[in-house]
Amino acid sequence: MRVVLGVSGGIAAYKAVEVCRRLVDAGHHVVPVMTDAARRFVGAATFSALASEPVPDGLWEGGIPHTRLGQTADLVVVAPATADLLARYAAGMADDLLTATLLATRAPVVVCPAMHTEMWEHPAVEENLAILRRRGVRVVEPASGRLAGGDVGTGRMAEPRDIVACVAAWFGAPGDLQGRRVVVSAGGTREAIDPVRVITNRSSGKQGHAVAEAARDRGAEVTLVTASVLEPPPGVRVVPVESAADMEEAMRAACEHADVVVMAAAVADFRPKASAEAKIHEAPDLVLEPTPDIIAGLAARRRPGQVLVGFAAETDDAMARGRRKLDRKGVDLLVVNDVSAPGAGFDHDTNEVTILEPGGRATVVPLQSKRAVADAILDRVVARLQGESA
């Protein structure tokens, strides 16, 4: 695959050297394109030595370089993608070789944002990314960690190995979820008693995150709505939430155009009817009320052809309770998880489940890694998408 590697002017440009090397090692023909600002951080000679072609001189080097690069590219990866680069790309500007190439290509584009937390969270950056996503641009979300100047927060460019893994998942051999939009929920929600205390459950979010990662690796465009504190897998769109109400709102928006919805989150069943505005200093008499039935609401509103997967975490009579829930919720698949079984359920790296389907089909998945369980669930999802129901 012929890859144009765009490098814009941020400190994370040094990590783009490793992205370049890994892409070449994976067998791709890599053409590095650097902005003038990027050359202030890393020398063009470094990329010229590692890539398949030398770094072009710029927009005025002779001929029409941006047209040639854009037309011959199979993929364009921008790492790092600074706030400035994202803004110029979203606005359709073409004032240097990189932005001109981005506008001149019909190839898929992947951007890997890198910037300080305050910039990453700025509404202008969020809107620019939303515009680019609507145009089909893929985003490898930044990680949390140490930033330039000693700060710590979200905005650190994803690690080169993760960027290249996303490229392989999205644009390697077509996966069986290629072109599909998958929404996954994960983690245990937290319902406030007061500003200090919450009602929650033991869910870590590991199984939901594993489903999101597996769907990404099968070629899907993935949105992860998560109440977990785990680092999300790179290459998925992340929507952080806390309460059941937050998750209901986020899932309703994310699922509107989804092909597959996997409701792996452990939503708290109850919440305090009233939350105190200040810390409570004596044992309260809590009055609880049910939280929204998110999956039933999604089932009622789902569009034709959408596959809906629910989870049931049980400790006794798991299969009988699961079958009743399958009928009651109106889902296509129900993943029954006996969390009392050794090595299964909350906070473990392994799991064992039974996948129930209307019509009586039950697929038993024995104890194994949560990633393997995720793939077993997605095998049945793909079967449903292909029209197999028994």
User: 177 near 199, Cβ under 8 Å?
Assistant: no
Helix-helix angle 318-329:294-301, to 10 degrees: 40
Phi, psi (rounded to 5 degrees) for 216: -60, -45
pLDDT tens for 311-326 read: 998 889 989 999 999 9
Selection from 325, 292, 300 nearest residue 311 by Cα: 325
* The pLDDT value given to residue 147: 86
Flag whether pLDDT at 291 surpasses 70.
yes
Average pLDDT of the residues in 343-361: 91
* The pLDDT value given to residue 390: 45
- β pairing state of 109-113 and 138-139: parallel
- β pairing state of 143-146 and 138-139: unpaired
Flag whether pLDDT at 62 surpasses 80.
no
Q: Which residue has the higher pLDDT, 338 or 63?
A: 338
Rounded CA separation 15/5 (Å): 12
Instruction: Give the strands of the sheet with 237-240, arranged side by side.
Output: 237-240, 221-226, 181-186, 260-263, 307-314, 333-338, 350-356, 362-369
Rounded CA separation 286/57 (Å): 68
pLDDT tens for 155-199 read: 999 999 999 999 988 888 778 999 899 999 999 999 999 999 999
Flag whether pLDDT at 63 surpasses 70.
no
Copy the structure tokens of residue 217.
């690796």
Share of the chain above pLDDT 70, in %: 99
Flag whether pLDDT at 341 surpasses 70.
yes
- β pairing state of 143-146 and 152-156: antiparallel
Residue reference for tokens 């929650």: 200
Q: Which residue has the higher pLDDT, 345 or 390?
A: 345
* The pLDDT value given to residue 148: 84
Average pLDDT of the residues in 334-345: 89
Flag whether pLDDT at 343 surpasses 90.
no
Share of the chain above pLDDT 90, in %: 80
Q: Is 128 a catalytic residue?
A: no
> Residue 105's pLDDT band (boundaries 50, 70, 90)?
very high
Which entry of 128, 201, 337, 351 is annotated as an active-site residue?
201
pLDDT tens for 218-230 read: 999 999 999 998 8
Amino acid at 258: A
* The pLDDT value given to residue 389: 52
Q: Report the 10 Å Cβ neighbour count for 205.
A: 24
Rounded CA separation 22/16 (Å): 10
pLDDT tens for 235-275 read: 899 999 999 999 999 999 999 999 999 999 999 999 999 99
Question: Mean pLDDT, the chain, as a whole number?
Answer: 93
Report all structural domains of the chain as residue ranges with CATH numbers, in order of start: 2-171 (3.40.50.1950), 181-385 (3.40.50.10300)
195 cis-preceded (ω within 30 degrees of 0): no
Rounded CA separation 282/279 (Å): 9
